[in-house]
Amino acid sequence: MSTYAADDIRSRLAAPARQTDLSTPIRPSQWIEFLSHPAAETAPGGSRTWIARAANLVIAYTDAKEGDTFPRIGQPDEYAVLMYSGSAPITVVSGPVPGGPAVPGEPAVSGEATGSGASGVAGFRESIAEEAFVVVPPGDSEIRVDGDGILIRVFSSTAPDLCASALNASVYAAPDPRAAPLVPWPDPVGGFRLRVYRLAETPIAPDRFGRIFRTTNLMVNFLAEEPQPRDPHKLSPHHHDDFEQISLAVKGRFVHHIRYPWGPDSARWQDDEHREIATPSICVIPPPTVHTTQGVGDHQQLIDIFSPPRADFSASGWVLNADDYPAA
């Protein structure tokens, strides 16, 4: 089922045909309000980080304090930093990090060079103090917080230390048979490097849905900040047959509506869910549930995350960095 309002641009997408065997159990949705849990990590300057995961990705949400640093040494693949209007200003260093080995791969084409390691690979530094989608390459990197605010990092599930630290790690002790496994998409054009996509350069436009970016392992949609509640007569119930949707609430109040399809075993039927969730939070929406999200506050913003990247959004022409990241 996919039901979009006539003026919803997603009505142009081909409706997915349900192909999943409904005899396979459906995982429950997950509702994670970060501030209601103990922080997984506390940095020397007082930054507190909460970590949660989905089938193929890990989110690190940090109430960051100026001066704290967040290194990754030997990161196996690229990761993203999601910067919205409440984010802390940061400086990102990719390449050789003090105390760590040099990063294999190509240097960034922009930013300030910081020298090179034993391999001769240059490290690059870039400061960002505005809304942006930042892609950090594999290997060694470090994020320095240049002012108080929120730091949101999204990794793939190939980082075992982060997966183990997730507050909902036990949910994925066994893989979800309904969720497609993570198969990386093609390498970026010109190789892996630090990339910064500033949202001011791609404002919301009526001929596309949100502001969508992808990497080799995930897709992110920065939805518009909404200054009023969503029209309850123009919701958009739809389903995804084989991938989770992770809805990250960064501002306001939201009600997630989720309907579980019935299979042949009535003992596995689940009630519909219509629950409000506090901000900051994530709702992990399992396949193949029918779902839609309703902003109910005076001002709200939602960021949707998928892993691997969505083929339908990619085919739509809405991906803003598609020239850098080829489709599978």
Q: Which fold has domain 9-316?
A: Jelly Rolls (2.60.120)
Spatial distance between the Cα atoms of 80 and 307, rounded to a whole number of angstroms: 12
Question: How high is the pLDDT of residue 96?
Answer: 67
Q: Give the pTM.
A: 0.89
CA triple 21-244-193, angle to 5 deg: 135
pLDDT tens digit sequence for 56-89 = 999 999 999 999 999 999 999 999 999 999 999 9
Cis peptide before 280 (omega within 30 of 0): yes
Is the predicted pLDDT of residue 101 greater than 50, yes or no? no
Percent of the chain with pLDDT over 90: 81
Is the predicted pLDDT of residue 103 greater than 80, yes or no? no
Is the predicted pLDDT of residue 100 greater than 60, yes or no? no
pLDDT tens digit sequence for 204-246 = 998 899 999 999 999 999 999 999 999 999 999 999 999 999 9
pLDDT tens digit sequence for 36-55 = 999 999 999 999 999 999 99
pLDDT tens digit sequence for 285-298 = 999 999 999 999 99
C-beta of residue 220 within 8 angstroms of C-beta of residue 133: yes
Domain spans in the chain, listed from the N-terminal domain onward: 9-316
Bigger pLDDT: 317 vs 110: 317
